[in-house]
């Protein structure tokens, strides 16, 4: 079979790479072209475009880069037509991928979506169109199966969360002692790093007993981080070592997104940080209808970790919350207990990549 896989960011590259490995177990002769990153390319897939050329976040940023985005869409359609895949596998990245899904369905190509768009947060009206153009929807959050069934009468598949297999594999191969480290995970895109990293670093001199370590994003150059680190005494950067960093950290300051879940699954007390452009934030606040921004709190349906959003994300608040989660034994114990419950919820689905690959294989065999 010929597969065309599209991921638009670092987390999609990670989960896409593991899915491709399992697809090759199910279909040893599989031919795969992809939009993704180094991890997907390392599986032997032919990399067409790297996600670092696709990552635009926020409403104003998307509008500013609209000609590039439209050009990417045209190129992608032309490449798919030339390749003639048996199936397209779309991984998250909904602004781009849902347009490809609608178009591909009209071309008679099987459309599989792995990691469902977060329509339960906003743009729920997308689901009507999604039902008509997606042949197989694979969800990774435990509440999504019921959401789609109860609200849209759509039978989707919960395959488990792919971070479970990734982190379990890492933990089994790497054992390390807890060290006095505060991990900083400011995101993967330049815009979000530039917004959040300076605020995260502003508390470093208030905690001289810790070493603050910044997790460098895949695809970002060393030189990009240098201006942020000028004058910092107890700060360093690690490259290609986020999981090693989390396994050795006492606490973490984490941008909203997948990283909040990764941090929790490593059992690290965290503060969730979000700050966008003023215009993007005001638009998002009016459109997004969810109680929390972190996946940890959303999955548990209550506040487990503290979220500092927009103007709340400042030096004083961050220092206060960091002091609380590093010096309060009761809070640390409560967090660890909640993290264990979170792990159990996510692990119920089983091995996500293997489950997803089996469902994809079954769909194509019955084509």
pLDDT for 212 equals: 95
Other C-beta atoms lying within 10 Å of the C-beta of residue 250 = 18
In a 3-state reduction of DSSP, which class is residue 33?
strand
Residue 161 to residue 350: CA distance in whole angstroms: 8
pLDDT for 215 equals: 95
**Could you state, in order of their start, the residue ranges of all structural domains in the chain?**
2-160+350-365, 166-347
Could you give the angle at which helices 329-347 and 315-327 cross, rounded to 10 degrees? 90
pLDDT for 178 equals: 45
DSSP E strands in 149-242: the ranges are 157-158, 181-185, 211-216, 235-239
pLDDT in tens, 106-152: 999 999 999 999 999 888 889 999 999 999 999 999 999 999 999 99
What are the φ/ψ torsions at residue 91 (nearest 5 degrees)?
-115, 105
Give the CATH number of domain 166-347: 3.40.50.2000
- Of 269, 275, 274, nearest to 321 by C-alpha is 269
- Average pLDDT along the chain: 90
DSSP E strands in 171-282: the ranges are 181-185, 211-216, 235-239, 251-255, 270-274
Query: What does the pLDDT average to over 208-226?
Result: 90
Residue 103 has pLDDT above 50, yes or no: yes
The length of the chain in residues reads: 367
Range of lowest pLDDT (45-49, 64-68, 301-305)? 64-68
CATH 3.40.50.2000 assigned to 2-160+350-365: yes
Residue 179 has pLDDT above 50, yes or no: no
Residue 336 has pLDDT above 60, yes or no: yes
Residue 171 to residue 189: CA distance in whole angstroms: 27
Query: What does the pLDDT average to over 337-345?
Result: 95
pLDDT for 60 equals: 52
Query: What does the pLDDT average to over 273-293?
Result: 77
Residue 257 has pLDDT above 90, yes or no: no
Residue 244 to residue 223: CA distance in whole angstroms: 22
DSSP E strands in 208-284: the ranges are 211-216, 235-239, 251-255, 270-274
pLDDT, greater one: 353 or 180: 353
Is the CA virtual torsion 93, 94, 98, 101 positive or negative? positive
Domain pair 2-160+350-365 / 166-347, same fold: yes
In a 3-state reduction of DSSP, which class is residue 223?
helix
pLDDT for 56 equals: 57
Task: Specify the pTM.
Answer: 0.78
Residue 287 has pLDDT above 50, yes or no: yes
């Amino acid at each position: 079979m010929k597969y065309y896989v599209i991921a638009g960011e670092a987390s999609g590259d990670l989960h896409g790479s593991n899915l491709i490995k399992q697809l090759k177990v199910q279909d040893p002769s599989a031919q795969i072209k992809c939009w993704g990153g180094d991890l997907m390319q390392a599986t032997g897939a032919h990399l067409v475009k790297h996600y670092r050329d696709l990552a635009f976040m926020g409403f104003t940023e998307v509008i500013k880069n609209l000609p590039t985005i439209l050009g990417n869409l045209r190129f992608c359609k032309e490449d798919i037509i030339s390749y003639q895949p048996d199936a397209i596998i779309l991984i998250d990245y909904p602004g781009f991928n849902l347009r490809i899904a609608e178009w591909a369905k009209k071309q008679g190509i099987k459309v599989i979506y792995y990691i469902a768009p977060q329509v339960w947060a906003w743009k729920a009206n997308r689901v009507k169109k999604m039902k008509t153009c997606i042949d197989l929807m694979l969800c990774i959050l435990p509440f999504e199966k019921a959401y789609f069934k109860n609200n849209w009468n759509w039978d989707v598949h919960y395959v488990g969360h792919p971070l479970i297999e990734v982190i379990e594999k890492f933990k089994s191969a790497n054992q390390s002692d807890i060290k006095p480290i505060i991990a900083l995970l400011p995101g993967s895109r330049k815009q979000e790093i530039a917004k959040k990293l300076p605020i995260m670093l502003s508390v470093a001199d208030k905690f001289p007993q810790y070493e603050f370590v910044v997790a460098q994003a895949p695809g970002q150059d060393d030189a990009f981080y240098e201006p942020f680190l000028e004058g910092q005494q107890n700060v360093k950067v690690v490259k290609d070592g986020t999981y090693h960093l989390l396994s050795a950290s006492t606490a973490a300051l984490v941008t909203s997104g997948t990283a909040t879940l990764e941090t929790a699954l490593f059992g690290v007390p965290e503060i969730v940080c979000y700050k966008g452009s003023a215009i993007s934030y005001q638009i998002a606040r009016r459109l997004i209808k969810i109680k929390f921004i972190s996946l940890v709190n959303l999955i548990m349906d209550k506040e487990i970790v503290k979220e500092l959003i927009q103007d709340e994300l400042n030096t004083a608040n961050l220092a206060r919350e960091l002091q609380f989660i590093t010096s309060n034994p009761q809070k640390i114990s409560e967090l660890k207990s909640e993290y264990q419950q979170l792990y159990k919820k996510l692990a119920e689905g089983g091995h996500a990549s293997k489950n997803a690959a089996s469902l994809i294989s079954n769909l194509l065999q019955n084509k």
